[in-house]
Amino acid sequence: MSTAGGRPAERPVWVLNGPNLGRLGRRQPEIYGTTTFAELAELCRGWGEALGLAVVVEQTNHEGVLLDRLNQAADEQVPVVLNAGAWTHYSYALYDACAQLEAPLVEVHLSDPAQRPEVFRHTSVITPHAAHVVAGLGVEGYRRALEHLAG
């Protein structure tokens, strides 16, 4: 499939981010790095373009908003890269929303939750529904997730 200009059509991918990720670069940079959310969004769009993906990047601190976007992704069969932040570890509403996705879901974490000292971080309600998980690679993990979806 190509556009009128002969370029391949870009496939949509949504990069959805949960609570506190809008504070990247300012929030615990020793854990999450110094890249800001705006910089991350720009990187994702650029990586996506190079891979033939039309990347939309969003962040919310409101669980219902994220659930609405996942429901929409299910309805439209849009692949999703998801960093749900703290909701990863306990939101059964998120578990249910991810279960209905038909297009691939890639779970991303900037740090590696399995290596974090807080035991609650060692459980993910997303992983059972993910085609792939990328953890502990910082912002590079988003590039790897997009590559997985493009492949």
Per residue in 73-106, pLDDT (tens digit) is 999 999 999 999 999 988 999 999 999 999 999 9
Q: Tell the CATH topology of 11-150.
A: Rossmann fold (3.40.50)
Question: Counting Cβ atoms within 10 Å, is residue 13 exposed (0-12), middle (13-18) or buried (19+)?
Answer: buried
Q: Look up 109 and say whether it is catalytic.
A: yes
- The one catalytic residue in 92, 95, 109, 148 is 109
Q: Which residues are annotated as a binding site for substrate?
A: 83, 89, 96, 110-111, 121
Q: Give 107-139 pLDDT, tens digit per residue.
A: 999 988 777 767 766 689 999 999 999 999 999
Q: What CA–CA distance (Å, rounded) separates 71 from 58?
A: 15
Report helix, strand or coil for 7: coil
Q: What CA–CA distance (Å, rounded) separates 21 from 35?
A: 11
Q: What CA–CA distance (Å, rounded) separates 33 from 66?
A: 23
Q: Which residues are annotated as a binding site?
A: 83, 89, 96, 110-111, 121
Q: Which two tokens stand for residue 34?
A: 């110094």
Q: Look up 32 and say whether it is catalytic.
A: yes
